[in-house]
Structure 1
């Protein structure tokens, strides 16, 4: 998979081209520059060891984490295991999310967008308090 050209220099500067690819509960992949991943990894390791959701999150994100180095053309190799987890076959969507990318199967991404767009305003009533004053 090719990283978009506009991000390659930043990744090269920030992480010397070293990325980490892991899974997410939503059946898509997350791609972090190595320094950002190391921070996430430290937080995951500190989660309560006997809490079942913590164990599941650690098992998924830490267990599937794989290093991926950009080659000279800005490409990374995503393992078959990770591609299978996310259902990636041919068409994929790479979505920028601040300090990371999300890599979705195109059909799953389209279905997710349709679900988000179709939600009632009432479904957003449970947003965290920090987002109540967010102006978009």
Structure 2
């Protein structure tokens, strides 16, 4: 399970360090793809395979299913950590997520999100605790 918030820098080649905690249990290979809120999603191979199976099972007759498959599968790439524990984020994905130098890696359970630090700061206002409590209740938590 991926948890925690990590602040990193992309180097000039677009490489980013993956925390050692995320590489436990032999996780050195990941799938990287676009995500819904303007960030990227990073999956360990077993979790990605589960999601991929669900996506493949969606009916081709559904426009929503085709759009979702294009969005997630069309931008997905396999990436492996180098000896320093870094992955290379391709330019196309960096552009889609507005990643420049300062990035935030956020563990959210079965995957991690990679955010532009400035975009993360705009999206992480969790100060309305009453609304969070209402949302949790609505989700059955």
- For this structure pair, what is the TM-score category when the shorter chain's length is used for normalisation? 0.7 to 0.9
2:72 matches 1:52: no
Give me the whole-angstrom Cα distance separating, in 2, the residues matched to 1:35 and 1:23.
Answer: 18
What are the equivalent positions in structure 2 for 1:1-136 lying under 5 Å apart?
1-10=16-25, 12=26, 15=27, 17-114=28-125, 116-118=126-128, 121=131, 124=135, 127-128=138-139, 131=140, 134=141
Could you say if the C-alpha distance between residues 6 and 119 of structure 1 is closer, same or farther in structure 2, counting changes exceeding 3 Å?
Answer: closer
Aligned residues: 125
Q: Which has the higher strand share?
A: 2
TM-score, structure 2 length as denominator? 0.78
- Following TM superposition, the consecutive aligned residue runs of length 4 or more in structure 1 with deviations greater than 4 angstroms are none
**TM-score of the pair, normalised by structure 1:** 0.81
Structure 2's unaligned 5+ residue stretches are 1-15
Please say which of residues 46-55 and 95-104 is displaced more in the overlay.
Answer: 46-55
- For 1:60 and 1:77, the matched residues in 2 are separated by 20
Which residues of structure 1 form unaligned runs of 5+? Answer: none
CA 1:117/1:51 → structure 2, altered by over 3 Å: closer, same or farther?
farther
Higher helix share: 1
Structure with the greater relative contact order (CA < 8 A, sep ≥ 6): 1 or 2? 2
In structure 2, how many angstroms separate the alpha carbons of the residues matched to 1:110 and 1:102? Answer: 14
